Structure 1
Amino acid sequence: MTVIDPRLTMERRLLKEHSLVIACDEVGRGALAGPVAVGAVVLDAPRSRKRVPQGLRDSKLVPEARRGEVAARAEAWVAASAVGWASAADIDQIGIMRALGLAALRALDDLRTVGVVPEEAIVLLDGNYDYITPAGGAGLHVQPVVKADRDCASAAAASVLAKVQRDALMIELHDETPAYVWARNKGYASLAHRAAIREHGLSRHHRASWSIRDAPTLF
């Protein structure tokens, strides 16, 4: 498989029309347990002229052992960053797409606390669907971009930062409920995770609506 290094072509073009680019990407969408997280990073024109941090790629393409150092370089490169969360209970209550929007809005609210005004930026969102605006993001300028986490360095930075923080949380939750082996599977549907659900049932951190819905195929 050919690995594509993310570039800043789109960000530089967008920064000719907007003062800031806020790139967002989610992690944990397909997991059976744990929250979904949306990373958000802020890029301005001066930083867009700097070299892309070494090793920065979509988090799925960065080896787990290296993600921490890559995330640290990414965080130092961008103007500001945040990770927003929606819990398993949120997902059960409002559904995954609205939960993604909620997590994104929480990340953007965290950016506001350091002086970022999201309404003055263009929000570059990985994917083909704007889940932010329907969740309450009226007034934001959201531009979905398919494969942004692969092609755009800012979205790759958001992906890595969110992945590192979510993985760290799932490792903490593993200590609380080690039977599900979250330190390894991070809440995704591994064979060991599915076997543990069959034996022990669901924990409070599981997305019950997902597990019940998918039970025939998962278990």
Structure 2
Amino acid sequence: MTAELIRPPRVVVRRDTGNWSLQTALHRRGLGPVAGVDEAGRGACAGPLVIASCVLRPGDAVRLDGLTDSKLMTAAARDRMFDLVRERALDHAVVVVPPAEVDLKGVHVSNIEGMRRAVARLATHPGYVLTDGFRVPGLTAPSMPVIKGDQAAACVAAASVLAKVTRDRIMAELHETLPLYRFDVHKGYCTGLHSRALRDHGPSGEHRWSYANVAAAGLAHGLRAPHRVALSVAAAAVVQNGGSPPVDGDATPRPGGARGT
């Protein structure tokens, strides 16, 4: 039986404790351990979707000074924090969803399922789960979505670091076997450099063929997807910043640029 989304008891959250406030308040009301969950790669058109969960030690803010949303950190700072979180965390788990699974299920469904799996893989069963931005049904503990959770809650920020560094390293490894695409630079997001590579060489097996730009590049080169692409998600638009997904069969990405998470 899965736990329903419930809001935590009314508590006083001290602003002077920064992004540790919410989980500290939950611990004080006996709702710990508190797990944070976040993903990396939702807006990319190549490479895996990576989801991480993390349970931090209560009162560890000083030792994890500088922990915040992974996108706001430099690559060097993320690498240092990645090692520190792995060393200091009470528990953590990372789930890697390959492009073929994203193409079969769709990026949102893959993300939700990945978050459930990341929480289920924790050896420490959480008393409460904080997710970044949207509700995740089907978790085995009470949960709450937190707007900009990777900035507002330290455990979500830690999960974002684990997910992003893991994914960036995977993309760097893919560059070794597929150097034409420069995955080491753009990490699979839809930059000008990546778009030119798709135009010149067509998509690889590491691309998400359900995305409109990848499908168009494959068609231009006479290529077919190397794995099954579900019709319900075929030619889906790339997730956009400030934009919206296609509706009524419109597979044209909205203005706004690719979301780099």
Q: Tell me if TM exceeds 0.5.
A: yes
Does the C-alpha gap of structure 1 residues 117 and 189 become closer, same or farther in structure 2, counting only changes over 3 Å? same
Task: Provide the secondary structure at the position in 1 that maps to 2:167.
Answer: helix
Distance 1:64 1:143 in 2: 29
Which sections of structure 2, spanning at least 5 residues, go unmatched?
1-16, 216-234, 238-250
Task: Provide the secondary structure at the position in 2 that maps to 1:183.
Answer: helix
The one-letter code sitting in structure 2 at the alignment partner of 1:11 is Q
Residue 161 of structure 2 corresponds to: 160
Distance 2:125 2:153 in 1: 22
1:91 aligns with 2:102: yes
Which of 70, 74, 90 does residue 79 from structure 1 map onto? 90
The CA deviation at 1:17 is: 3.5
The CA deviation at 1:138 is: 5.0
Distance 2:114 2:140 in 1: 17
Tell me the TM-score normalised to structure 1 length. 0.85
Larger-Rg structure = 2
Map 1:22-33; keep pairs closer than 5 Å: 22-33=35-46
Residue 61 of structure 1 corresponds to: 72
Query: What is the aligned-residue identity percentage?
Result: 36
Question: Relative contact order: is structure 1 or structure 2 higher (C-alpha 8 Å, sep ≥ 6)?
Answer: 1
Does the C-alpha gap of structure 1 residues 154 and 6 become closer, same or farther in structure 2, counting only changes over 3 Å? farther
Map 1:1-219; keep pairs closer than 5 Å: 6-15=18-27, 16-43=29-56, 47-52=57-62, 53-111=64-122, 115-118=123-126, 121-127=127-133, 129-130=134-135, 132-133=136-137, 137-210=138-211, 211-212=214-215, 213=235, 214=237
Whether the aligned pair in 1 keeps the contact of 2:34 and 2:128 (CA below 8 Å) is yes
Aligned residues: 201
Does the C-alpha gap of structure 1 residues 199 and 163 become closer, same or farther in structure 2, counting only changes over 3 Å? same
The one-letter code sitting in structure 2 at the alignment partner of 1:18 is L
Detail structure 1 runs of 4+ shifted over 6 Å in the superposition.
none
The CA deviation at 1:55 is: 2.2
Does the C-alpha gap of structure 1 residues 138 and 160 become closer, same or farther in structure 2, counting only changes over 3 Å? closer
Structure with the larger strand share: 1
The one-letter code sitting in structure 1 at the alignment partner of 2:109 is R
The one-letter code sitting in structure 2 at the alignment partner of 1:166 is R
Distance 2:24 2:43 in 1: 32
Whether the aligned pair in 2 keeps the contact of 1:6 and 1:150 (CA below 8 Å) is no
RMSD: 1.9
Which sections of structure 1, spanning at least 5 residues, go unmatched?
none
Does the C-alpha gap of structure 1 residues 94 and 176 become closer, same or farther in structure 2, counting only changes over 3 Å? same
Tell me the TM-score normalised to structure 2 length. 0.72
